[in-house]
Amino acid sequence: MNVIEQIAELREEIKEHKRNGRTVGFVPTMGYLHDGHLSLIKKARAENDIVVVSIFVNPLQFGPSEDYDSYPRDLRHDTSLAREAGADYLFAPSVQEMYAAAPSVSATVKDRTDVLCGKSRPGHFDGVATVVTKLFNIVLPERAYFGQKDAQQVAVVDGLIKDFNFPIKLVPVETVREDDGLAKSSRNIFLTPEERQEATALYKSLQAAREAIGNGQKNPETIIELMKTIIDTQTSGKIDYIEIYSYPELKPVDTLKGRIIIALAVRFSGARLIDNMIFNA
C-alpha cells in the first residue's frame, strides 16, 4: 500500500490506473479506523481493481464548540489496518494541502439537513459536501463507500452525486456493531467504563422500537416515548434527538409505514453517539 500526502501525486497514480481501464473504489474517512471502516474497505476491495482510502479530519465540518482538536488521530495504526484490509492507496493530505487558499466556492446542502444531526450541527453537512466534492474530484472513483451509521450523511451524499452529476455509484454499507450491539465509532473511546456499559441501551431502544412496530404500533410519538424511557432510565446520557422519518427523503411521517429511519443521538460526558435503524414498517 502506498501512502500519499500530495493531491498531484495521487492524481498521477489514478490517471495511470484509469488509462489501464482499472476501476477505483473509494472509502473516505477521518481516520482512527475501526471495524466499521474496515468493512467498507473490504467491500471496496471485493468490487474494484484499485482501492483508495482517505484519512482527513475535515475542519470544515466541525462547529466551533465541537471536537475537531480532540478528534482521535493515529495515522501509523491506521496505515497498518488499511493495508491489512486491502487498500492500495492511503491518501492522507494535510489541511494546508486540502485547503491551500481561503475557499472562494463551497457547497451548501439545501435539503435533508433541517432534521437529525443537521439541526444540532449547523453547517456540518455543508462541510461534508464540500470535502466530499473535492475528494471525488481528486480520486475519480467509480464507487464510493459510506457507512449506514451516518444515514443522514448517506442521504446528503446521494443528493450531492445526483445534483452534481458525479458518475459515481454510492454504496451504503451496514453498521458494524460490538458484540453487545453498540455501533462501532471512533468516538467510543471517549466513553467512561460506566458510560460504555450504559451505551448498549441505544441499540436496545432501537430494537424495542422495531419490535413494537412489528407488533402493530403505528404512532411515531408512542415509539419515540418508548425509546426515551429506555435511554433515560438506563443511561446517564442526555438525549439530543430521537426522530423518525421516511428514508431516504427524511420527511416527517404521521403513521409508520413504508421505508423509515429511526435515528438517535445521545450526549455522554466525552462523546456524542449516534445510531439508527432503517427498515420497512
Cis bond upstream, residue 64 (ω within 30): no
Q: Establish whether 37 is a catalytic residue.
A: yes
Which range of residues in 6-14, 22-30, 94-102, 242-250 is near ligand PAF by CB under 6 A? 22-30
Report the alpha-carbon distance of residue 208 to residue 88 in Å, rounded. 41
Report the alpha-carbon distance of residue 142 to residue 167 in Å, rounded. 7
Among 26, 29, 139, 166, binds ligand PAF (CB under 6 A): 29
Among 78, 88, 126, 150, binds ligand PAF (CB under 6 A): 150
Closer Cβ to ligand PAF, 61 or 113, answer by number? 61
Q: How far is the CB of 226 from ligand PAF (least distance, A)?
A: 29
State the burial class of residue 179 (Cβ atoms within 10 Å of its Cβ: 0-12, 13-18, 19+).
Answer: exposed
Q: Does 58 bind ligand PAF (CB under 6 A)?
A: yes
Closer Cβ to ligand PAF, 132 or 224, answer by number? 132
Q: Binders of ligand PAF among 194-223, rule CB under 6 A?
A: none
Q: Binders of ligand PAF among 30-49, rule CB under 6 A?
A: 30
Residues 115-144, mask of contacts with ligand PAF (x by CB under 6 A): -------------x--xx------------
Closer Cβ to ligand PAF, 28 or 93, answer by number? 28
Retrieve residue 99's grid coordinates.
485547503
Q: Does 265 bind ligand PAF (CB under 6 A)?
A: no
State the burial class of residue 212 (Cβ atoms within 10 Å of its Cβ: 0-12, 13-18, 19+).
Answer: middle
Contact present, 259 and 246 (Cβ < 8 Å): yes
Retrieve residue 63's grid coordinates.
462547529
Give the interface size with ligand PAF as a residue count (CB under 6 A).
Answer: 10
Q: How far is the CB of 158 from ligand PAF (least distance, A)?
A: 13
Report the alpha-carbon distance of residue 233 to residue 148 in Å, rounded. 27
Closer Cβ to ligand PAF, 131 or 224, answer by number? 131
Closer Cβ to ligand PAF, 171 or 253, answer by number? 171
Residue 101 DSSP symbol: S
| E strand or H helix that includes residue 175 | none
Residue 23 DSSP symbol: -
Report the alpha-carbon distance of residue 62 to residue 65 in Å, rounded. 8
Active-site choice (17, 34, 37, 77): 37
Q: Please state, in angstroms and as integers, the Cα–Cα distance from residue 133 to each residue in 4, 166, 275, following that order.
A: 19, 9, 25
The binding site for ligand PAF (CB under 6 A) comprises 28-30, 58, 61, 128, 131-132, 150, 153
Give catalytic residue positions. Answer: 37
